[in-house]
Amino acid sequence: MESVEEWVKKLNVSSTKDVQVPKILFDQVIGQEEAGDVVKKAALQKRHVLLIGDPGTGKSMLAQSMVDFLPKEDLEDIIVFPNPEDNNRPKVKTLPAGKGKEIIRQYQIKAEREKKDRSRSILFIILSIVFLGVVFAFILSDWIIVFFAIMAAAFVYMAMAINPAMRAERAMVPKLLVSHSPNDKPPFVDSTGAHSGALLGDVRHDPFQSGGLETPAHDRVEAGNIHKAHRGVLFIDEMNLLRPESQQALLTAMQEKKFSISGQSERSAGAMVQTEPIPCDFVLVAAGNLDAIQGIHPALRSRIRGYGYEVYVNSTMDDNEENRNKIVQFIAQEVIKDKKIPHFDLGAITEIVKEAQKRSGRKGKLTLRLRELGGLVRVAGDIAISEKSDIVTADEVMKAKNLSKPLEQQVADRSIEIRKSYKTFISEGSKVGMVNGLAVLGANSGMADFTGIVMPIVAEVTPSQHKGNGSVVATGKLGEIAKEAVQNVSAVFKKLSDIEISDMDIHIQFVGSYDGVEGDSASVSIATAVISSIENIPIDQSLAMTGSLSVRGAVLPVGGVTAKVEAAIEAGLKRVIVPRSNYDDIVLDSNHQNRIQIIPVDTIEDVLENALVETPERQKFFSRIKSLITPKGFSSQQGITGKNVA
Ligand SMILES: Nc1ncnc2c1ncn2[C@@H]1O[C@H](COP(=O)(O)OP(=O)(O)OP(=O)(O)O)[C@@H](O)[C@H]1O
């Protein structure tokens, strides 16, 4: 594929202003063609869907777009009525969309009329009492009777006002639980993070439960999201965070397609109330990342699998012309959605597409973690606004990249500053047992773009006091990983260094390691540091390395190579060793290009050939190991190309 700079010249637009944005949401979802097909099919057949994948890749957009494809069923309004026979068992009625409001209005008018009639009769009674009082007072010439008549009238008024029968008109008005207009689209209800009451419906507590002051039970009923989503889509992201009891109740609702509402809080007066079953015929779209699967109730998952689809959404798409154009469409969509920020010119488009390449972490791919890329678009737009510019250019995107650095990057930047001033790693000369390892911060935080960091690893090997009883002592936050790495590669050690590892005490230190540092990829560095220490051969300190070591000595691919290589560049190192299979994944910004020699390797021998500096011990070491290794297993010569990445 040609460079982004070449490609952008062929675009027949001058900015994202000229880009047509599709009208329907489904066509705005980018890079999720397979998931889109499944979701469309699921909507047409009214099937449930489980969408699994990285955050911000369009899962809720896909769910939302389903409402455009749901079969045209008539929407329904749902109302609850008081039950004269049992106040705690309100009755439920469904009506065609729009009718609910009409019915309630009619009841309200009737109640108003009854209220007026009743007020009129109260007034009539009161006036009659007072009038009679005046008449008797006149006849008997005793005006105190008027006073008693007024008192009697007041008493009658109060008695009638608090009489439950007087409030009955209001109490008889049903409550509109779910309401639509006849031309509404099927509902899309996002129930992410909703507590059980919001999801399943609830009955409010009544502080005045007697004496005619109580609120009738049906008036306290609140619809749940499952009811609001009747004949539409119920979307629940982070499904695993929903409590097991709620998941169980959700399953019942899905099976029965109706669910009674009762008070969720045991100690509330609402717990006494239970409505008739209320329809809730929804399509469930559950979403989450890969770990979420463990937290989903097995019966619920089985229901989805039995009556629906499971989809693993894409995190990247191929870097080709069509998909680059889609990123342009994405920028245009985000600009329009934001409503405030200006459009992007060709230079700004170029930078965003390049960022999409870089964030994918793999050569030939573009990221689909578009929420985060959208964040960059908005920050660049905000910068343009603050600069009073009516178009976003490459300049603003570059500034935005700096401004919208993830926390991990900010931590890394600061730590590099500190490390530079304290010189916790050195970038020249040579040292025995010390390797500039490379790690990434925030690999588990769900961020799309890793942050690299130089992490010095120091090994010290001493003969153990008792033969065969050596131990691995590892300090720093990555201690466990270091121990595992040494154990995993003990076979390699044996082969390479001819020394029985169990006769040695091995001390490994990760200098200044941080929380959130992912260290799985440090095993090549650990092995190198240990061998250097055992053999007393210094390691070149202008070199950094990353890679995972197999028990057979092969260097296996790791994550976040671009970020690691960038970290090595920032630290002023001259060469970096990476697994050959990761070589193509390195996508460097223009300001990082040609600043370091990248050495792709296949085996630990390749690593050692590059890392160990020329000394008599080195020569002895290599002549010894060459005799140990079969010609097939030894591939160091072909492994070293050391070319610059342009
Ligand atoms: N595939 C995509 N196509 C177009 N825009 C996208 C896509 N993915 C994400 N976006 C943008 O990111 C925003 C968030 O996406 P969305 O809520 O669909 O992500 P999600 O996968 O549901 O994430 P999460 O699981 O974290 O909620 C969207 O509103 C849109 O602006």
Nearest CA residue ID for atom 13, ligand 1: 371
Atom of ligand 1 nearest to the CA of 288: 25
DSSP 2: -
Structural domain contains residue 501 = yes
Structural domain contains residue 273 = yes
- Judgement on whether residues 206 and 242 belong to the same structural domain of the protein: yes
Torsion of CA 282, 287, 293, 296, to 10 degrees: -40
Q: Is the pLDDT of residue 643 over 50?
A: no
The fraction of the chain above a pLDDT of 70, given in percent, is 88
Atom of ligand 1 nearest to the CA of 334: 31
**pLDDT by residue (tens digit) across 112-137?**
888 788 888 888 888 898 898 889 88
Q: What is the pLDDT of residue 513?
A: 60
Structural domain contains residue 225 = yes
Confidence of residue 443 (pLDDT cuts 50, 70, 90): low
Q: Is the pLDDT of residue 255 over 70?
A: yes
- Judgement on whether residues 362 and 438 belong to the same structural domain of the protein: no
Map residue 315 onto helix, strand or coil. coil
Atom of ligand 1 nearest to the CA of 313: 21
**pLDDT by residue (tens digit) across 7-16?**
999 998 999 9
Q: What is the CATH number of the domain that holds 548?
A: 3.30.230.10
Nearest CA residue ID for atom 31, ligand 1: 371
Nearest CA residue ID for atom 24, ligand 1: 55
CA of 63 to the centre of ligand 1 (A): 10
- Please say which residue of 311, 327, 350 terminates a domain: 311
Q: What is the pLDDT of residue 285?
A: 95
Residue among 326, 523, 564, 636 flagged as catalytic:
564
Q: What is the CATH number of the domain that holds 298?
A: 3.40.50.300
Q: Is the pLDDT of residue 639 over 50?
A: no
Structural domain contains residue 112 = no
Structural domain contains residue 36 = no
d(CA 291, CA 493): 35
- Please say which residue of 247, 280, 311 terminates a domain: 311
Atom of ligand 1 nearest to the CA of 64: 18
Q: Please state the rounded mean pLDDT for residues 315-320.
A: 95
Nearest CA residue ID for atom 11, ligand 1: 371
On average, the pLDDT of the chain sits at 85
Confidence of residue 449 (pLDDT cuts 50, 70, 90): low
Structural domain contains residue 53 = no
Confidence of residue 26 (pLDDT cuts 50, 70, 90): very high
**pLDDT by residue (tens digit) across 172-216?**
789 999 999 888 899 999 999 888 889 999 988 877 666 556 778
- Judgement on whether residues 231 and 331 belong to the same structural domain of the protein: no
Nearest to 104 by CA among 170, 37, 15, 200: 170
Strands (E), 225-381: 233-236, 283-288, 308-312, 316-318, 365-367
Strands (E), 338-392: 365-367
Q: What is the pLDDT of residue 250?
A: 94
Q: Is the pLDDT of residue 278 over 50?
A: yes
Nearest CA residue ID for atom 7, ligand 1: 58
CA of 532 to the centre of ligand 1 (A): 48
d(CA 178, CA 166): 29
CA of 55 to the centre of ligand 1 (A): 8
Q: What is the pLDDT of residue 112?
A: 83
Map residue 568 onto helix, strand or coil. helix
Q: Which of 19, 57, 447 to probe ligand 1 with, by most ligand atoms within 8 A of CB?
A: 57
Contact (Cβ atoms closer than 8 angstroms) between residue 481 and residue 557: no
Residue 430: C-alpha distances to residues 13, 89, 316 (Å) = 54, 83, 40
- Judgement on whether residues 135 and 232 belong to the same structural domain of the protein: no
- Judgement on whether residues 481 and 522 belong to the same structural domain of the protein: yes
CA of 326 to the centre of ligand 1 (A): 14
Q: Please state the rounded mean pLDDT for residues 538-546.
A: 95
- Judgement on whether residues 393 and 485 belong to the same structural domain of the protein: no
Atom of ligand 1 nearest to the CA of 238: 25
Structural domain contains residue 535 = yes
- Judgement on whether residues 522 and 626 belong to the same structural domain of the protein: yes
Q: Is 564 labeled as catalytic in the residue annotation?
A: yes
Q: Is the pLDDT of residue 380 over 90?
A: yes
Q: Is the pLDDT of residue 505 over 50?
A: yes
Map residue 538 onto helix, strand or coil. strand
Nearest to 278 by CA among 236, 229, 235, 239: 229
Q: Which of 370, 372, 373 to probe ligand 1 with, by most ligand atoms within 8 A of CB?
A: 370
- Judgement on whether residues 151 and 207 belong to the same structural domain of the protein: no
Q: What is the pLDDT of residue 478?
A: 67
- Residue bearing tokens 């009891």: 245
Length of the chain, in residues: 646
Q: Which is more confidently placed, 449 or 437?
A: 437
CA of 371 to the centre of ligand 1 (A): 5
Q: How far is CA 157 from the centre of its chain?
A: 61
Q: Please state the rounded mean pLDDT for residues 386-390.
A: 93
Q: Is the pLDDT of residue 630 over 50?
A: no
Q: Is the pLDDT of residue 29 over 50?
A: yes
Identify the domain containing residue 393 by its residue range.
Answer: 4-20+315-403
Which protein residues touch ligand 1 with a CB less than 6 Å away? 28-32, 55-61, 237, 287, 330, 334, 368, 370-371, 374
Residue 252: C-alpha distances to residues 4, 30, 67, 150, 441 (Å) = 52, 35, 23, 61, 43
Q: What is the pLDDT of residue 626?
A: 67
- Judgement on whether residues 193 and 335 belong to the same structural domain of the protein: no
Confidence of residue 642 (pLDDT cuts 50, 70, 90): very low
| Complex prediction ipTM | 0.96
Confidence of residue 265 (pLDDT cuts 50, 70, 90): confident
- Judgement on whether residues 230 and 151 belong to the same structural domain of the protein: no
Q: What is the pLDDT of residue 228?
A: 95
- Please say which residue of 251, 285, 311 terminates a domain: 311
Map residue 641 onto helix, strand or coil. coil
- Judgement on whether residues 212 and 193 belong to the same structural domain of the protein: yes
CA of 317 to the centre of ligand 1 (A): 15
Q: Is the pLDDT of residue 515 over 60?
A: no
Confidence of residue 219 (pLDDT cuts 50, 70, 90): confident
Burial of residue 99, with CB atoms counted within 10 A of its CB: 0-12 exposed, 13-18 middle, 19 or more buried: middle
Map residue 313 onto helix, strand or coil. coil
Q: Is the pLDDT of residue 641 over 50?
A: no
Q: Is the pLDDT of residue 635 over 60?
A: no
Pick from 390-404, 444-458, 556-570, 613-627: least confident: 444-458
CA of 446 to the centre of ligand 1 (A): 14
* 341 CB-near residues (< 8 Å, 6+ apart): 335, 377, 378, 380, 381, 382, 384, 385, 392
Nearest CA residue ID for atom 30, ligand 1: 371
Q: Please state the rounded mean pLDDT for residues 440-447.
A: 60
Domain total in the chain = 4
Confidence of residue 584 (pLDDT cuts 50, 70, 90): confident
Q: Is 483 labeled as catalytic in the residue annotation?
A: no
Residue 630: C-alpha distances to residues 318, 554, 564 (Å) = 40, 14, 33
Structural domain contains residue 332 = yes
The fraction of the chain above a pLDDT of 90, given in percent, is 43
Positive or negative: CA dihedral 532, 537, 541, 547: negative
- Judgement on whether residues 450 and 326 belong to the same structural domain of the protein: no
Beta pairing, strands 430-432 & 538-540: antiparallel
Residue among 246, 521, 532, 636 flagged as catalytic:
521
Atom of ligand 1 nearest to the CA of 289: 25
Q: What is the CATH number of the domain that holds 8?
A: 1.10.8.60
CA of 56 to the centre of ligand 1 (A): 4
Q: At what angle do helices 346-360 and 394-403 cross, to 10 degrees?
A: 40
